[in-house]
Structure 1
Amino acid sequence: MTTEHGGDVRLTGISKSYGSAVAVHPLDLTVPQGSFFALLGASGCGKTTTLRMIAGLEEPTTGTVLLGDQDVTALPPYKRPVNTVFQSYALFPHLDIFENVAFGLRRRGVRSVRGQVEEMLDLVQLGDFARRKPHQLSGGQQQRVAVARALINHPKVLLLDEPLGALDLKLRRQMQLELKRIQTEVGITFVHVTHDQEEAMTMADTVAVMNRGRVEQLGAPADLYDLPRTPFVANFLGTSNLIGASVESRDGEDLVVRAAEGTLRLPAARCPDRVVPGGKVLVGIRPEKISLTHAEDADGTAGVGVAAGRNRVTGTIAATSFIGVSTQYLVDSPDAPAGSRLEVYVQNVERDARLVPGARVVLHWNPAHTFGLDADEGAASAGVEGVEDVEGTEGGAPAGEAA
């Protein structure tokens, strides 16, 4: 990646090592001003270490940290125009909500705090809870108090380190929308660390997917999901079916490839440039893009059939799982990678009662939904484990207030 100008956060050649263990390899990264930016990855991938270097809680081994045009690499946390919200919230239990939010202002010697505190509590929709203690609030309400306390000093950047990790699933989804609303209203830069793919895609304008101390791919959530550039991203950001194939030819804008049981087509523009005729490719397709037709209907004799021009592979249903809005099918197929099965998600609109384990089926999809990956990267990066867990631990006390 290259570093662009004009960002609220610019990391240039930033890296962090703990002895011989490298947590973050040299990294150039720009967080656009006023954006909601997510660092996404598995435990130990370097995302928290990167956030802590922005906050000043970790000293970089190499490189510089710029906030706006200010080089803050050597500044301590309390002198940086940033605030951090941790998973633990770190609220003061002996202070009510009003005083928790007012803490940063009082620490800076501001005498008249009421108007600013009330404005922040209204922003996080807790104006009626000002005189309650933290233990009298739900987890989501406590999280919003922590955000209000961090924002009241008007930091240039708000850093969020797994802030929703302690919440249950329903509340976490509600808070994802709340945090996005708050960020949109205040308009400052949010940098959010998470291991939750859905959380990153729901909230962020831009996502950096990290793996083994490096940014594997950077982009808008929809772009990363629809067109992953590596097997790691394809499997970490959702689920992908990856079919090994050899490239036979190019036909107009498409590549024609041979899989185990026949030929498939995929747009050449959705493949790396190094995927060329004569080479190997991983043919990728998301489970929800696939249609499932019972083998008896696939030839069209029953008036159903599979439309011409669609990619198709055959298989046998091995297992099904009802998951509410859809049913997940696991299919044994000669085209599936060794030791695995193809996955298909079918919306529960008109369920075919014949689609049960043991049924012969045809999987088919629009070739335009297919993407290609370099087969040589498959073995090295298809997993989702991070490097050694050498990242810094989460803070247990309030972060340094913005200057």
Structure 2
Amino acid sequence: MTTDRGGDVRLSGISKTYGTFTAVHPLDLTVPEGSFFALLGASGCGKTTTLRMIAGLEEPTTGSVLLGERDVTGLPPYKRPVNTVFQSYALFPHLDVFENVAFGLRRRGVKSVRGQVGDMLDLVELGDFARRKPHQLSGGQQQRVAVARALINHPQVLLLDEPLGALDLKLRRQMQLELKRIQTEVGITFVHVTHDQEEAMTMADQVAVMNGGRVEQLGAPTDLYETPRTTFVANFLGTSNLVPARFDGRSGDDLLLRAGDAPLTLPTARNGAAATTGPVLLGIRPEKVSLVPATDAASVPDGRNRLTGTVRATSFIGVSTQYVIDSPVCAGFEVYVQNVERDTRLVPGADVVLHWNPAHSFGLDAAQDIDAGSASVEEDAAA
């Protein structure tokens, strides 16, 4: 496949409707050239439909798809400089690994394929498996064959539709690193669809979090995690404690809040809520919070945000212990404490003080659904 190398993937006003159902609302999105880009969201959010419109497998209801300066909206899939890797891999069972990878070259009439196929198998670290059939490979090895078969066509963009979904957890994590290594080596644009937050955060340079056919937030994984702009992103990417509070004034570069009787501080720069008066949700990630028995309250340094509560439950998960705290201002407050020196006093029923650096807090508009994007809500929606 010939490509005019270079250029971003640009979606302009693109949408997709099926009868009265809108799968993707009008969307403007730019995928930078040479980046690893993830479309992340729960089932039915529109991410796969968006990918299929880039591939040419779905016709947009409105809008256009541009690769570089080239408008490919009206082109069939085989005329677009893209290749797609699906969760099923779709390898030819009767062909060995070598011939699976060589298939695209042979179909285009390329006579000398040995060198190109050898180089591609080396890239995916399968050089010693060239004469094996797909059924003789592990799931991870089959996935790498599918990637090699797509990349040998030198696409401008590689599209990956839940490519790791069929793998077990340990292999999936290994393949996340492998895919990122391959993308870095070949330097082409990868657009990856996934519902797995860890997968997106591990591999992608930029992530578009999708919800209900719209992009909820777009940015680098660290930005999305540290400064979510909506409750959906705060809850969908990991876990967030969202404390209902009210604005109570200013002090220099900080906003002063009050949750019940507890004074809290929020840096103005980390306030994602439009308002600076009235109700607000103060967010804090569980691993940012420290936990001490109430009898040690005097040991908490000045300048920390603090809340009181009672331990409801604990869960030992190896690298950390997870605590669920019932506070007067926030039931079910979660805290993750690394298992370095475990405090045996932190047991269910113990009174505790939660405290954290105000700089790790973020503010969100209290008019939003506080549970949007949480696992329980997503499971209910899928049921």
Matches within 5 A, 1:1-400: 7-272=7-272, 274-276=274-276, 278-299=277-298, 305-336=299-330, 340-379=331-370, 381-383=372-374, 385=378
Identity percentage over the alignment?
79
In the alignment, is the contact (CA less than 8 A) between 1:318 and 1:332 conserved in 2?
Answer: yes
Q: Is the Cα contact below 8 Å between 2:239 and 2:286 reproduced in 1?
A: yes
**Distance in 2 separating the partners of 1:17 and 1:379:** 29
Q: Which SS does the other structure have where 1:102 is aligned?
A: helix
Residue 335 of structure 1 deviates from its aligned partner by 1.4
**Larger relative contact order, structure 1 or 2 (CA cutoff 8 Å, min sep 6):** 1
Q: Quick one: which amino acid aligns to residue 341 of structure 1?
A: G
Structure 1 residues 346, 224: closer, same or farther in 2, change over 3 A? Answer: same
User: Contact 1:8/1:157 (CA < 8 Å) preserved in 2?
Assistant: no
Aligned residue for 1:78, secondary structure, equals: helix
Asked whether the 8 Å contact 1:46–1:211 carries over to 2, the reply is: yes
Contact persistence 2:53–2:59 (CA under 8 A): yes
| Unmatched runs of 5 consecutive residues or more in structure 2 | 1-5
Give the 3-state SS of the residue equivalent to 1:341 in structure 2. strand
CA distance in structure 2 between the partners assigned to 1:240 and 1:381 by the alignment: 11
Residues in 2 aligned to 1:9 and 1:262: alpha-carbon distance in whole angstroms: 48
Q: CA deviation at 1:8?
A: 2.1
Q: Is the 8 A contact 2:273 2:364 kept in 1?
A: no
Shift of residue 250, structure 1, vs aligned partner:
1.1
| Runs of 5+ unmatched residues, structure 1 | 1-5, 300-304, 390-403
User: For each residue in 1:346-383, what CA deviation from the matched residue of structure 2 results, as whole angstroms up to 9, or x when unmatched?
Assistant: 00000000101000000000001100001012358455
3-state SS of 1:319 partner? strand
Task: Compute the displacement of 1:388 (Å).
Answer: 8.6
Contact 1:44/1:387 (CA < 8 Å) preserved in 2? no
Q: Is the 8 A contact 2:235 2:372 kept in 1?
A: no
2:96, 2:130 within 8 Å by CA — same for their partners in 1?
yes
The TM-score with structure 2 as length reference comes to 0.96
In the TM superposition, residue 48 of structure 1 has moved relative to its aligned partner by 0.3
CA distance in 2, matches of 1:7, 1:243: 43
Check the 8 A contact 2:273/2:363 in 1, yes or no.
Answer: no
Q: CA separation in 2, counterparts of 1:359 and 1:352?
A: 12
Which residue in 1 is equivalent to 2:3?
none
C-alpha RMSD over aligned residues = 1.5
Q: Which runs of 4+ in 1 moved over 2 A?
A: 378-389
Distance 1:154 1:268 in 2: 47
Indicate conservation of the 8 Å contact 1:21/1:388, yes or no.
no
Q: Distance in 1 between matches of 2:201 and 2:325?
A: 28
Q: Does the aligned pair in 1 maintain the 2:257–2:263 contact within 8 Å? A: yes
SS at match of 2:257: strand
State the Cα distance separating 1:260 from its structure 2 match: 1.6
